[in-house]
Chains A and B, each alone.
Chain A
Amino acid sequence: MNKLIPSLALVALTFALHGAGARAATPPALLPAVLTIHIKDFKFNPTPAKIHVGDRVTFVNDDDEPHTVTATDQSYDSEGLDTSNTWQHVYSKPGTYKYFCELHPYMKAVVVVTPAPAQ
């Protein structure tokens, strides 16, 4: 996969609430999420993360370095998250979602999405 040809991201599934807010005085409010994945010391934690279909996940960069949350299949991408930036994503289909940091591709992690429990 090559960045030379810009990809068509599936933005319909993505809630990019804060990606461009590095200079914002007041970070925008976050929607309720079932899980927060922290990016710290060049690792995503927890991984694997287990959620249900329709769950919203918050990613927060606790590192000094910027990172991205980028799906291996390019179905979603946070773009650059600076220190303390957050980004949210709703997983709408079951499956195993591999993702990594585009700036540090050795940082790899997984979100496992299972069908929603019966009401």
Chain B
Amino acid sequence: MRRKDFIEHVGWTGAGIAWSLSATGLLSAQPAEAASPFSFVQISDSHIGFTRPENPDVAGTLRKTIEDINALPNQPAFVVHTGDVTHLSKTTEFDDAKQLLGTLRAPLVVLPGEHDVIGSSKNFFANFARTDAPSGWFSFDQGGIHFVSLVNVFNFEIDGKLGQEQIDFVEKDLAAQKKSTPIVVFGHVPLYALYPEWGWTTEDGTKVLALLRRFDAVTVLNGHIHQIIQHTEGNIRFATAAATAYPQPAPGTAAKPGPLKVPDDKLLSFLGYRSVELATGGGTKVTDRALG
């Protein structure tokens, strides 16, 4: 992408979200920004324990991610990890991940991906349980935004399912919110049918999306697919995040999903994190940043 095109791509798109794209879907340099009173950061898909050639040092790339975030001049109010902290849910993987994530300067919020709950959710809750969220899902208010953190990897036979109990929670939770309140939703698997052929969808996600339609500005942030894909449905903006571990193929461009081998000197340009700020007008401003 030429610089002129890039600049044109950084701009308002509808209800207050600015999207920033580079050739790999990530920014390689930080644009000039006005200081913001509130921001948070999203990271995702660290897959601690992964050792294959696509990234033989996933701990190193997570460490670099953390160092970059810790060096931000305006520290985020919190960092949310949207799942797949570990590769195989092993105790040693959780230990390593928790030690690394513990070096973040900002408070940490973690939700599970399917790689964190292989067999059971025991290890995940042992490391990242919240006292206010015994079921895993929760909501909170911060910086003028109402946050809803969902879990769509607990169903035994379906990845990408919320279940009626969680949908009931969301319905009750959102009923108390004003139409003008900015809403940000976290989840691991995309809530909409991004690419069902590869399991990149949430079976009952439409039920939650229906509950979100009445709000002026909704931002849904997911991980799972290891690449940035943006999608808009009316007032709802979706953005999947880059991984800190390794990229995956774009939907349908390979026979199957899985780790994508890129040239070693290009790997960091496919990995990154995302800063999110409350924008003037009520929406959010989302900025993706590459590690290199």
Interface residues of A (CB under 8 A from B): 1-4, 6-7, 9, 20, 22-23, 41-42, 63-66, 68, 72, 74, 77, 79-80, 82-83, 100, 102-106
25 A-B pairs, CB-CB below 8 angstroms? A3-B154, A3-B156, A4-B154, A6-B120, A6-B122, A42-B256, A63-B256, A64-B52, A64-B259, A65-B256, A65-B257, A65-B258, A65-B259, A66-B87, A66-B115, A72-B157, A79-B119, A80-B87, A80-B115, A82-B87, A83-B52, A102-B118, A102-B156, A103-B114, A105-B159
Instruction: Please give, as numbers and ranges, the residues of chain A lying within 8 Å of B118 by CB-CB distance.
Output: 68, 79-80, 102-103
Pick from B88, B117, B122, B256: contact of A66, CB under 8 Å: B88
Name B120's contact: one of A3, A22, A64 (CB within 8 Å): A3
List B residues 206-232 near A (Cβ within 8 Å).
Answer: none
Instruction: Tell me which residues across on chain A come within 8 A of B122, comparing CB atoms.
Output: 6
Per DSSP, chain B at the interface is: loop
Q: Name the residue of chain A whose CB is nearest to the CB of B86.
A: A80
What is B's interface to A at a CB cutoff of 8 Å?
A: 49, 51-52, 87-90, 114-115, 117-122, 135-136, 153-159, 163, 199, 255-259
Number of interchain pairs (Cβ within 8 Å): 81
Residues of A within 8 A of B120 (CB): 3, 6-7
In the complex, A22→B86 CA distance in Å?
13
- Contact of A4 with B135 in the complex, beta carbons under 8 Å: yes
Residue among A2, A42, A105 making CB contact with B154, cutoff 8 Å: A2
> B157 contacts which of A23, A41, A80, A105 (Cβ < 8 Å)?
A105
B88 engages A77 (CB within 8 Å): no
Query: Which among B90, B135, B136 has the highest number of chain A CB atoms within 10 Å?
Result: B90
